């Protein structure tokens, strides 16, 4: 059974986690009620605060500087929450979204430092990071797709998000893979999802359905690429992941009909 053992963190680190989460929640609540350049500035400040706090927590628990890919999930979580909260109309929905954001932020910090410490059993922390990664990228896909701007603008954003999250997800499956080897695979995933985004722009899908469809594409790519990197990709594995992704895509499109 998974247990979030924040008590395993030093007392000083617990205080740091609490401070970062409280500041992030306050800033996110403010960002949800403003727009334009002020909202963008607030999100940028929140990313800096969360990154600095995460770095400080990691240094105090692991005694070393975290690698750059470990900053991907916390920062994408901030951006994804800020964008997704704009899709929520009701005050209750915003409150629930803020609560979920705070919980996921705590979980990301715990899971990343637990994974970085090289704990004997990292299954739960890795699973938590994988799940959070897919949740965050869904929020980003949905928010970006909902804008319904021209492909020239939303596709590059989708590609950039996909490349970043692909690097982190692939590193979670094998943290010994060098970045230079992962870069072409992440770029490939980004380009494929970007091409799918271009095609989806001609479909009458809302942000949630469009984001869910893109998520199924990313899931398939990450699973196949991770198996390929590990040297375990077989026709059977390819067919299994393809069937799961195809079924999910059909259900999403059927929901639209």
Asked if residues 16 and 57 have their Cβ atoms less than 8 Å apart, the reply is yes
Residue whose C-alpha is closest to residue 158's, from 192, 194, 185, 208? 194
Q: For 139-158, write each residue's pLDDT tens digit.
A: 999 988 887 666 667 888 99
pLDDT for the residue 12? 61
Query: SS3 for 143?
Result: helix
* 161 in a structural domain: yes
Gap between the Cα atoms of 230 and 71, Å rounded: 24
Dihedrals phi, psi of 175, to nearest 5 degrees: -75, 0
Domain residue limits at 46: 8-120
Q: In the listed set 120, 143, 175, which residue is the last one of a domain according to the structure?
A: 120
113, 175: one domain: no
88, 145: one domain: no
pLDDT for the residue 1? 41
195, 139: one domain: yes
* 109 in a structural domain: yes
Q: In the listed set 69, 89, 120, which residue is the last one of a domain according to the structure?
A: 120
* 3 in a structural domain: no
Residue ranges of alpha helices (H) inside the chain are: 11-31, 36-62, 72-84, 91-116, 123-146, 151-173, 179-200, 207-229, 235-256
Gap between the Cα atoms of 81 and 102, Å rounded: 10
Gap between the Cα atoms of 220 and 204, Å rounded: 23
pLDDT for the residue 19? 86
114, 190: one domain: no
Angle (CA) 112-186-68 rounded to 5° is: 35
91, 144: one domain: no
* 147 in a structural domain: yes
Q: Provide CB contacts within 8 A for 10, sequence distance 6+.
A: 60, 61
Residue whose C-alpha is closest to residue 238's, from 221, 215, 214, 250? 221
The number of CA neighbours under 13 Å toward the Cβ of 199 is 9
* 125 in a structural domain: no
Gap between the Cα atoms of 215 and 196, Å rounded: 11
140, 244: one domain: yes
172, 235: one domain: yes
Angle (CA) 116-122-128 rounded to 5° is: 90
136, 186: one domain: yes
The beta-carbon contacts of 3-11 under 8 Å, at least 24 apart in sequence, are 4/106, 4/107, 4/110, 5/110, 6/106, 6/110, 9/57, 9/61, 9/110, 9/113, 10/60, 10/61
116, 151: one domain: no
pLDDT for the residue 232? 86
Q: In the listed set 69, 85, 120, which residue is the last one of a domain according to the structure?
A: 120
Number of folded domains that form the chain: 2
* 144 in a structural domain: yes
Q: Which residues of the chain have pLDDT under 70?
A: 1-13, 61-64, 89-90, 117-121, 148-152, 256-257
* 94 in a structural domain: yes
pLDDT for the residue 2? 45
């Amino acid at each position: 059974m998974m247990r979030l053992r924040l008590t395993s963190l030093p007392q000083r680190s617990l205080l740091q986690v609490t401070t970062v989460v409280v500041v992030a929640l306050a800033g996110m609540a403010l960002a949800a009620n403003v727009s334009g350049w002020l909202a963008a500035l607030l999100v940028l400040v929140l990313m800096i605060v969360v990154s600095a706090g995460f770095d400080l927590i990691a240094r105090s628990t692991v005694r070393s500087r975290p690698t750059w890919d470990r900053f991907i999930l916390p920062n994408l979580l901030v951006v994804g929450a800020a964008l997704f909260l704009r899709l929520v109309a009701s005050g209750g929905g915003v409150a629930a979204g803020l609560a979920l954001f705070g919980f996921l932020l705590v979980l990301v910090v715990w899971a990343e430092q637990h994974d970085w410490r090289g704990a004997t059993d990292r299954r739960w922390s890795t699973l938590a990071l994988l799940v959070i990664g897919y949740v965050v990228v869904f929020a980003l896909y949905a928010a970006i797709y909902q804008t319904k701007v021209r492909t020239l603008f939303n596709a590059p954003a989708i590609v950039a998000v996909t490349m970043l999250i692909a690097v982190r997800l692939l590193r979670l499956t094998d943290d010994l893979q060098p970045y230079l080897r992962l870069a072409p695979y992440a770029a490939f995933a980004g380009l494929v999802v970007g091409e799918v985004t271009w095609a989806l722009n001609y479909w009458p899908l809302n942000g949630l359905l469009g984001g869910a469809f893109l998520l199924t594409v990313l899931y398939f790519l990450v699973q196949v690429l991770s198996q390929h990197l590990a040297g375990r990709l077989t026709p059977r594995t390819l067919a299994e992941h393809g069937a799961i992704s195809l079924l999910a895509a059909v259900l999403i499109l059927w929901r639209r009909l």
